Amino acid sequence: MPNTSPQRTSTCVFVCLWATAVLTVVLVVLLGGEIAPTPWTHITVQGTKCVSEPVQGWFFPAGKHGCITAIDSTNHRNRKLKEIASHPDNIHYSFQVPPVDAGGGFSRWQRRLYAVLRLRLLHIDGYFSGHSSRVTLKTSLGYTTAGELYRPSLIASSYQERKLSCNSVKRHVFRGQTFDCSPQVLAVLFSLHHDRYLLNLLIPTRREDTNEFTNRNLGRVTDVYVTFFSQAVWYMRVLMALQVLFFPVVAVLLWKFRRSVAALERPPNHLECVLALLAMALLTMNCPVEVASLVVECPWLVVVNDVRKNFFYASFMTFFLYLTDKHLEPGRVCPHAKRAINLSIRSGTLAIIIVDMTEHIVSIQNPLAATYEPMHLSMSMLMYAMLACYLCCISVRTCAALDAIRRKGVAQEEETRCQEAMVLVLTWVVFCLSAADFVLKRLHDGMWMWEYSLGELEIENTGGFLLGVFCMWNTYTCVLLVVYSPLKKAPEPRGHEDRHDAGGRGAAAGQAVPLLCRPEGDHLMKTGECRTIEASSLWKHKTPTAPPCLANVEVLGPASIPIIPPRHCHQD
């Protein structure tokens, strides 16, 4: 492999580059933690029990067309209304977020919305009035605009079946509130292009489409809550600002790196190729395509993010693998590990992309689909296992590469060896922080499921860390593009240039250069006093020497060829 060590970078410049990168990351972490401390916001809304007739097919929890609630119906003079309120098939739970009396609606910066169902059941003598592992819901999801608060447009409507895990002893706690059953995802939206969203729920005893009885063993539901999760506005603004800032910087450095590699007389080596691939992947990550969601409704952007995010992860892991392989002798440490790790990176990344894209495409087509929770949990566990295996393998290779750097080289190469070791250690640190970023994002995407399984997680105030990791990817790649950028070959002295030109003219054309052969002393050549040989054999190592067939002779060249003093040839 051609030498790609950062040996032409002085120690002062090398340290200054990395120090600037670290200070930039620290600054982004501090500012991000102050401006956007949490990447997600949430609000838990208690469902309004509506028993009156719907308005244009919808139940509104409050406002001018607010429904008559079940509590109001008990004090209502209309006896028929009281009878209606006593049957569960006539109680509709209505949710509107944000509430009308709360002022403004959703911002288009928030981009995602998860609606998570939480139930409270009736307790009799400390136990539920019934128990069931499944609940059937009739759900309608719509949106309203600022000018038409009471004219909802339908997004989706269907019957939903969700698995429940209810426990009267160990109750689920979320942000200080207790619930009897496990949280379940009702709806997923990947574009918040409208001001408000309206959700109507019915827990029926009979399905109208199949005429089957449902929810017989569920027990009596006393309250229904829905927690709405959405991305924080300021977090998304800071993230897009970083994308806009780093996109031209990475593009310019990648262009200069490509020009430097193209100017070489040799083809690019593997490390330069994977470094360029890493920069291209980061360039796609920095491309602020999310601006389109501020103008038009673009739920499909989540699929684009799936592709470019996994493309970057795969590129970074491949680069780290080749960086360690650069210092290891073939077959010294786990001879088949490189091929196995490469295969696992490609197959694992492809599997993650396929599953995530399938999950998101299904949710885009039907926001009320039930694919999110099981696929998210299973894929998350698979990803964590793959990440742990890769971390173990790459840590072993990093230690072996550091040991190889320590043992190789001479005293004057100490500066280069220190720089190589520092790049390896920093790359390992970047990978560990990237792994933590990956785990945190998966936990954020399914926070309600993980908190139900693992208890309350203190992962809300992690916005500064996530923004710092994104900045770290950019500064790390920028420094590598500068450090590993190959330099042009230094100009050679005039004498060497003339010698190469003289030999090149004869050797390039495959011509024979006549040389005068004069015997030394009284010894005569058996083959005659004169011989012609090809110049390529003389200038093979840039300095003409006497060929093996001519012993004890003085070689005299043409006027343009320097004369070599007599010398003895090496015996074959």
* Residue 85: predicted pLDDT: 61
CA distance 429 to 475: 14
C-alpha dist (Å) from residue 134 to 115, 118, 214, 366, 374: 18, 13, 9, 21, 15
Establish if 503 belongs to a structural domain. no
* Residue 470: predicted pLDDT: 95
Same domain, 135 and 221: yes
Residues 58-81, mean pLDDT to the nearest whole number: 68
Give residue 258's domain range: 11-39+234-483
Q: How confident is the model at residue 546 (pLDDT cuts 50, 70, 90)?
A: very low
* Residue 78: predicted pLDDT: 56
Same domain, 222 and 331: no
- Asked which of 29-33, 52-56, 153-157 is least confident by mean pLDDT, the reply is 52-56
Place of tokens 């990475």: 250
- The DSSP secondary structure of 185-227, one letter per residue, reads EEEEES---SSEEEEEEE--SB-TTT--B--TTS--EEEEEEE
Q: Which segment, 279-288, 290-299, 334-343, is predicted with the most confidence on average?
A: 279-288
Establish if 386 belongs to a structural domain. yes
Establish if 162 belongs to a structural domain. yes
The burial class, CB within 10 Å (0-12 / 13-18 / 19+), for 219 is: buried
Q: Which segment, 94-98, 116-120, 551-555, is predicted with the most confidence on average?
A: 94-98
DSSP state of 491: P
Read off φ and ψ for residue 191, nearest 5 degrees: -155, 120
Same domain, 25 and 58: no
Tell me the angle at which helices 414-445 and 463-483 cross, rounded to the nearest 10 degrees.
150
Same domain, 112 and 80: yes
- Collapsed DSSP state (helix, strand, coil) of residue 166: strand
How many Å is the Cα radius of gyration of the chain? 36
Establish if 496 belongs to a structural domain. no
Q: What share of the chain in percent tops pLDDT 70?
A: 70
Query: Is pLDDT of 10 > 90?
Result: no
C-alpha dist (Å) from residue 357 to 282, 305, 349, 438: 20, 10, 12, 17
Read off φ and ψ for residue 40, nearest 5 degrees: -130, 150
Q: How many CB atoms lie within 10 A of CB 152?
A: 24
Same domain, 33 and 44: no
Place of tokens 């028929």: 80
Mean pLDDT of the chain: 76
Query: Is pLDDT of 519 > 70?
Result: no
* Residue 184: predicted pLDDT: 84
Last residue of a domain, one of 231, 255, 277: 231
Counted domains in the chain: 3
Last residue of a domain, one of 449, 483, 517: 483
Same domain, 552 and 404: no
Establish if 148 belongs to a structural domain. yes
Residues 135-149, mean pLDDT to the nearest whole number: 87
* Residue 86: predicted pLDDT: 64
CB 222 within 8 A of CB 124: no
CA distance 316 to 312: 6
Tell me the angle at which helices 463-483 and 270-286 cross, rounded to the nearest 10 degrees.
140
Report the CATH number at residue 288. 1.20.1070.10
Q: Which of 420, 389, 256 is nearest to 317 (CA)?
A: 389
Q: How confident is the model at residue 141 (pLDDT cuts 50, 70, 90)?
A: very high
Same domain, 427 and 323: yes
Q: How confident is the model at residue 77 (pLDDT cuts 50, 70, 90)?
A: low
CA distance 37 to 499: 67
* Residue 209: predicted pLDDT: 80
pTM of the model: 0.76
* Residue 30: predicted pLDDT: 94
CB-based contacts of 502, cutoff 8 Å, min separation 6: 535, 539, 560, 561
Same domain, 344 and 478: yes
Query: Is pLDDT of 490 > 50?
Result: no
For residue 534, the one-letter residue type is: E
CA distance 305 to 136: 33
Same domain, 206 and 273: no
Please indicate whether residue 17 or residue 175 has the higher confidence score (pLDDT): 17
What b-and-e string marks burial along 484-513, b requiring 16 or more CB atoms within 10 Å of the CB?
bbbeeeeeeeeeeeebeebbeebbeeeeeb
- The DSSP secondary structure of 293-341, one letter per residue, reads GGTS--TTHHHHHHHHHHHHHHHHHHHHHHHHHTTSPTTTS-TTHHHHH
DSSP state of 456: -
- Collapsed DSSP state (helix, strand, coil) of residue 417: helix
Establish if 493 belongs to a structural domain. no
CA distance 558 to 502: 10
Query: Is pLDDT of 538 > 90?
Result: no
Q: How confident is the model at residue 511 (pLDDT cuts 50, 70, 90)?
A: very low
Q: How confident is the model at residue 134 (pLDDT cuts 50, 70, 90)?
A: confident
Residues 36-62, mean pLDDT to the nearest whole number: 86
* Residue 340: predicted pLDDT: 76
Residues 185-197, mean pLDDT to the nearest whole number: 89
Same domain, 104 and 200: yes
pLDDT in tens, 285-334: 999 988 888 888 888 999 999 899 989 998 998 898 888 888 776 655 55
* Residue 532: predicted pLDDT: 41
Q: How confident is the model at residue 8 (pLDDT cuts 50, 70, 90)?
A: low
Residues 225-238, mean pLDDT to the nearest whole number: 91
CA distance 386 to 354: 16
Same domain, 285 and 423: yes
Query: Is pLDDT of 113 > 50?
Result: yes
- Provide long-range contacts, Cβ within 8 A and 24+ apart, for 387-393: 387/435, 387/438, 387/439, 389/344, 390/317, 390/341, 390/344, 390/345, 391/431, 391/432, 391/435, 393/334, 393/337, 393/341
CB 81 within 8 A of CB 74: no
Please indicate whether residue 24 or residue 263 has the higher confidence score (pLDDT): 24
Please indicate whether residue 6 or residue 238 has the higher confidence score (pLDDT): 238
Q: How confident is the model at residue 7 (pLDDT cuts 50, 70, 90)?
A: very low
Same domain, 428 and 293: yes
Task: For the chain, give the longest Cα–Cα distance.
Answer: 141
* Residue 571: predicted pLDDT: 40
Residues 250-254, mean pLDDT to the nearest whole number: 95
* Residue 342: predicted pLDDT: 74
Q: Which segment, 20-24, 387-391, 485-489, is predicted with the most confidence on average?
A: 20-24
Query: Is pLDDT of 475 > 90?
Result: yes
What b-and-e string marks burial along 433-471, b requiring 16 or more CB atoms within 10 Å of the CB?
bbbebbebebbbbbbbbbbbeeeeeebeebbbbbbbbbb
Q: What share of the chain in percent tops pLDDT 90?
A: 22
Q: Which of 143, 145, 119 is nearest to 131 (CA)?
A: 119
Establish if 3 belongs to a structural domain. no
For residue 287, the one-letter residue type is: C
Residues 16-43, mean pLDDT to the nearest whole number: 92
CA distance 13 to 20: 10
Establish if 187 belongs to a structural domain. yes
- Asked which of 24-38, 62-76, 301-315, 522-536 is least confident by mean pLDDT, the reply is 522-536
